[in-house]
């Protein structure tokens, strides 16, 4: 990797904590600000922002960089760190990495002058994140479903990244897996992989699923589809907001349904931190070496 050896990490949750320790374990100098409440081991150095800026060439912001559009997303910080023009002016001299850049750049005009790489946009990030998401979904299913995944009838709605990884894991555990997709090409791949296939638009025609996992970010499971297909199912919605399940209708129908958001950071912060680190390393390798 590049000759630059100093990483500054500002804010973040358990994923950034794990990432900081993992980068330090690779032999780099790691400085952190805004994660005060955590005790690091492995040689990660806590310091204030000006010290961090004076020592680091690479700056890593959280995912998302901000939640309130005013301060850095820093749940383990004792103080708020404001994303104002002053900070932006200092940071724009650095090589920056953040998640969901579009939120960050609204906080100051100076970000437009900065070199900011969005690791959240990278394909290896979203593909690999499908793993902790799928495992988180299975963990929820195990906890809530009173029988075993092995032998259960599962419907996975959608054959994108999460759908692919999740259906493969469910099959690996011995479930009977049906997968839905819109495109004929995907339906052919679904069958080749050994799953039953169904058109997403025809989900309402089938039922008797023990567990339904939705991965499609649009309203697939409305009251009508829930009533026809999910009567005796556990429904887990993995799609990002606004999601794909009508939870009010589910409640009315007596269908147990769970909205599962941001699983990687919750169920596997260490894995999620590794994924962010690897993505940043890849960007550095492509751009600076």
Which residues are at the interface with a second copy (CB under 8 A)? 14, 18, 123-124, 127-128, 130-132, 135-136, 138-139, 142-143, 145-151, 165, 168-169, 171-174, 184-185, 188-189, 192-194, 267-271, 274, 282
Instruction: Considering the complex, state which of residue 33 and residue 152 has its C-beta at the smaller distance from a second copy.
Output: 152
Instruction: Considering the complex, state which of residue 127 and residue 219 has its C-beta at the smaller distance from a second copy.
Output: 127
Q: Which of 179, 136, 137 is nearest to 156 (CA)?
A: 179
CA distance 279 to 276: 5
Which residues neighbour 168 within 8 Å (Cβ) at sequence distance 6 or greater? 193
Q: State the minimum distance, in angstroms, from the CB of residue 263 to a second copy.
A: 11
Q: State the minimum distance, in angstroms, from the CB of residue 206 to a second copy.
A: 19
Instruction: Considering the complex, state which of residue 56 and residue 215 has its C-beta at the smaller distance from a second copy.
Output: 215
Element (DSSP H or E) covering residue 127: helix 123-144
Q: Which of 135, 177, 174, 145 is nearest to 159 (CA)?
A: 177
Q: State the minimum distance, in angstroms, from the CB of residue 117 to a second copy.
A: 14
CA distance 143 to 248: 22
Instruction: Considering the complex, state which of residue 43 and residue 174 has its C-beta at the smaller distance from a second copy.
Output: 174
CA distance 282 to 267: 24
Q: How many CB atoms lie within 10 A of CB 285?
A: 11
Instruction: Considering the complex, state which of residue 61 and residue 166 has its C-beta at the smaller distance from a second copy.
Output: 166
Q: State the minimum distance, in angstroms, from the CB of residue 165 to a second copy.
A: 7
Instruction: Considering the complex, state which of residue 72 and residue 130 has its C-beta at the smaller distance from a second copy.
Output: 130
Q: State the minimum distance, in angstroms, from the CB of residue 266 to a second copy.
A: 11
Could you tell me if 60 and 80 are in contact, meaning their C-beta atoms sit under 8 angstroms apart? no
Categorise residue 49: left if φ over 0, alpha if ψ from -120 to 50, beta otherwise. alpha
Q: State the minimum distance, in angstroms, from the CB of residue 224 to a second copy.
A: 25
């Amino acid at each position: 990797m590049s000759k630059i050896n100093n990483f500054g990490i500002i804010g973040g949750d358990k994923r950034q904590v794990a990432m900081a320790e993992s980068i330090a374990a690779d032999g780099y100098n790691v400085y952190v600000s805004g994660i005060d409440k955590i005790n690091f081991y492995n040689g990660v150095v806590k310091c204030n922002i000006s010290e961090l800026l004076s020592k680091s060439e690479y700056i890593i912001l959280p995912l998302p960089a901000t939640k309130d559009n005013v301060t850095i997303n820093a749940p383990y910080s004792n103080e708020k760190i404001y994303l104002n023009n002053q900070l932006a002016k200092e940071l724009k001299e650095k090589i920056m990495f953040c998640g969901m850049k579009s939120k960050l750049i609204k906080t100051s005009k100076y970000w437009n002058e900065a070199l900011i790489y969005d690791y959240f946009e990278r394909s290896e990030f979203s593909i690999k994140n499908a793993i902790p998401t799928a495992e988180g979904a299975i963990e929820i299913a195990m906890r809530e479903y009173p029988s075993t995944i092995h032998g259960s009838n599962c419907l996975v709605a959608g054959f994108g990244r999460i759908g692919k990884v999740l259906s493969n894991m469910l099959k690996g555990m011995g479930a009977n897996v049906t997968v839905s997709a819109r495109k004929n090409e995907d339906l052919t791949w679904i069958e080749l992989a050994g799953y039953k296939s169904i058109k997403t638009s025809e989900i309402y025609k089938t039922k008797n699923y023990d567990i339904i996992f939705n991965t499609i970010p649009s309203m697939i499971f409305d009251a009508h589809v829930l009533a026809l297909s999910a009567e005796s199912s556990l429904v887990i919605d993995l799609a990002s907001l606004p999601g794909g399940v009508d939870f009010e209708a589910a409640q009315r129908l007596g269908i147990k349904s769970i909205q599962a958001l941001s699983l990687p950071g919750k169920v596997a912060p260490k894995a999620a931190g590794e994924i962010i680190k690897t993505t940043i390393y890849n960007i550095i390798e492509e751009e600076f070496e």
